[in-house]
Structure 1
């Protein structure tokens, strides 16, 4: 049955304003409903009479979506507050809150609900959300528990729309060759329940038309019979990875009022990414019945690195890692997962931990229903009491979280890294209670929406804290952004200021600042002075090399507003006009000012000691006159040379090709290019072998520390900016204009462009992505990362192999070969990694082709990884 004008208007309202707490006006609806204002008001008032909307008699009148006539949330006019299946969805109260609200409204809508279209990249959880919608409908009683959830992937039938039509609607006897009986379709199977059509953009225009006709009229025809109507009652969920405005017919698109977009993995908040990784690890721990010990650096890699397959691929990566580690040591009591660059710190995932055990940083917002705790803390500064109250709330709310479990996990460890660095920079020791307070306050702020009024109130209450405590809080916030999560957390400023007040002590009579050019020069000098004197006497500012004196002055003026007025100020700088700095800063300072150039560690330590002794500014000025003399001596250094070394870990072949490329662009023939075995080069660098004297540059395929000799990896050569390459590595070595074409040749050597030129009919972009997924599974299984040239070799071979097998079934001369134990082990895991490719292209790889892949990888696979 066609939708009435009133129903169409309500569908539009759900799409645009279902989750809007501020509601909407009649004028807001004029953009998507081409009728005059009086007609709109009539429809809106009728929807209010029907219980689907409510209104407030303001001017203009504001309308709100209601869940049902008797229930309207104070914070949302859409979301039911009772617990349901969505509560355990990671992000349901965060990045997916709006999506969940729309899904609930689609199910709760009177009648047969509303169709839902879920869009998002592959692997973001569209299928999982669809199943949750079905479970929610069963919970609410709008769909019987015995009614099915039928899933159909339209991509499987993209090249045969008639077969898809038969699969959806069924067919009659004789409808096509081989149709010897009548057969029911997905519509029959889903009758009374849900039909989930994944990759709906692969539906042909004809099938889209059949679908929206059913949505309008409530019946369908089987393939081969245009007379017999078959009524059905079902709810639709659609999913797509494409732009719905370009891949779906307008007539079809207009019949789907509820549209949900799911974010990709890296767009999710840090706590949600950590929760996903922890959840998948817990699943594996329970499945394998082993505790999992996870290296902290590997956890960092999992939550910060982009995942092409998003959450779905993340789950597969974790499963492969755990399966590989379990297979290597089946008798071990725990499964140990390590990265190539281990940090030495371990996270423990318990096999006995309940599946939905909450993380402290996720639970805190649910516990903190009352802001009184924070107000009381800012009044008293009692860190011990704050921690005790927060712990009590956490353990009581979670019901299963022991006090010790609150202080564990990836985010906790990274927070401790930040506080350790804070101690190093400021010289202020942070005890265990301070560390707990920082963690608890940060976890709360991280998962709570910004509340400007609450922050303003706490800032007013904490006005008594010292300027030094505020500076400590700022330092801590910067380090939390560096180590934990880089997002504004305004609530932390008053809370951390109060937490550090006792530790920082009263403000000093003289305050110190170090400003120096370089990535960490000022910080290094200040941290040494602060640590050795045991106090926070110097604030450091690390400035980029291109920073001007004017920029330094502006930065200092901004900083002065946060300092105690009337105190003396000593500024140590490495360069710049002292007169210009002095004259401008003096205008913004109510105390005495001393600016000293050519800062050094000895100078900073001396002045920090004098500030600690509470010497007057006059005394410090008098004592520092002529105290910091510069000593200079000349030592003969390494003789200049004219030699470039090229070394590749895979051997001489790649080295020679690189040499040929570089040789063509040298500025002079007298520059020698030497290829050297990787191990030989590494040995010579370690022992400072004289054979390296005179080396202008080293080019390698892997990173290596070469001391005083400039060294650049191929990856860096390809990615680095041209001006940096000219300045830092190739100055005086290459002809004018020679750098860019040289890099282009290197790129051609180390990229997969060769694949496209050799494929006949497969889409090179698509097949390369699919092959990359296979290569990643091999890397995860064997716990290695294939170098770029090996990856390119595998890209080419596997892509061409797929095309070869599709055309002529591939190479088969070794089908009866006797396999070695290593080959047998390789073949045993091969099917798992190629499962998606085999299914998509409907192929089965012959044994000979599998062995050819093995021979390419064999030199890089450790022997014990195959056993």
Structure 2
């Protein structure tokens, strides 16, 4: 921890990994592997007996063959640690911005600092390579040409040393391509792109064009860390992301749209217009598909305006509705003068409707304004046990609420948990509330646990959602129906085909078994969740519909949770013997997840 160099967190990770690898190599046949300070002694000349002052700044490759470690290969360069740490920091900062924890100004400042630290390592502290002058010049020329294209097309100005810095970045990763894992950050880079695509989409559009141009001309795929650096560089070069309205120019000819958009972007020094040229030999449907693909990747919630050159394109809105969220304006007979007028209005913060009104007053043009469709309000019901339970909860809730102008929909728990706000349901519906049997947190969306609804602990949230909904029943009647419908006996009888009196006793025995074996007292909300889940689980097993893992997941779970599996099989033995059932490991995994979501990780 006393390391002064960059990348101390990544270095510390590698110390732990390396020590574990060495200890495992020496003690593979031992039941317990012991690690001591001797495992830090990888280099007698450099090892400092004062362990707290010693630091190890290398990535390791550990090769395993025939269940035996054959090789531990240190790759010596602490710069890699810093670069991978940068990706983690960028992801955290973008997530904070997405959650409104930091402002766009703070984000720009912190990302600029992070970028500068990484470039300092790559560019200014780079080790001397016997670099081929021809290769260096080719890279430099390619980068300069790419940046010139971006400046002339999108108005993004770059400074003299930019091309040299980006060239050094590319050469650094080219020289070290064998030692830098391209898979390591794949998930993170996709998450970063996803956040930027939603929140700062224009930066992503330009950086991806730069990346594609460089990959095409240099004939190699850029490392994921390079892609992060390119995205950050573009974001810090762009003066603002305030032009949140998407503006598109579509015109017939090989470069008509590109020429007009280029003039406007350069004059204002900002990326305002994206151009779509329609050469005579390309069909309109192909261009429309490109436009749809573009709009599907950017944030359209603030509105979109499309400038076209012929009346045949004025009705393009009908083919774009599925990818648009905000208002849409279409203006026919585009000219450079009109494009500059629109660009100025966008810079000044006018909305789409006011732009269309202002343009129509001053110009004899055919314009269309299409108000964004209001999404239907919805309440989602979901359950970790599966969609079947969510459907039954939906039916119960509909009976409680009665006729109302809000839709109640069952939805897959795994999809919501994995995708969060990016799930398609949120683009199709205005989701006001999620009712779930297991904890589920999605930024910007209210969610309540089923047991809180039953206990009345979330009445304020639930009835606030219904306040803006037209309903035929009064609130007091809805409250009474919820108490009646969601009583434990009624809930289990409605959710399962089993005898509620018998099944409740059997489930209670199972829950008490877990409390005794784990030496934990479950609170009321956890017990209610387990009552509901276990009742439905037993019904699934009777119907031969138990949930199962795919083979690889099952092996991994079995290897890591053998104690909990054994405990569960013992606890369920009475039910299994009585009904001649088999309990799949996936069902045990779900019970473990429910328990750990309330009381924390089980140390078994």
TM-score of the pair, normalised by structure 1: 0.28
Structure with higher helix content = 2
Q: Which has the larger radius of gyration?
A: 1
RCO greater where, 1 or 2, for CA within 8 Å and sep 6 or more? 2
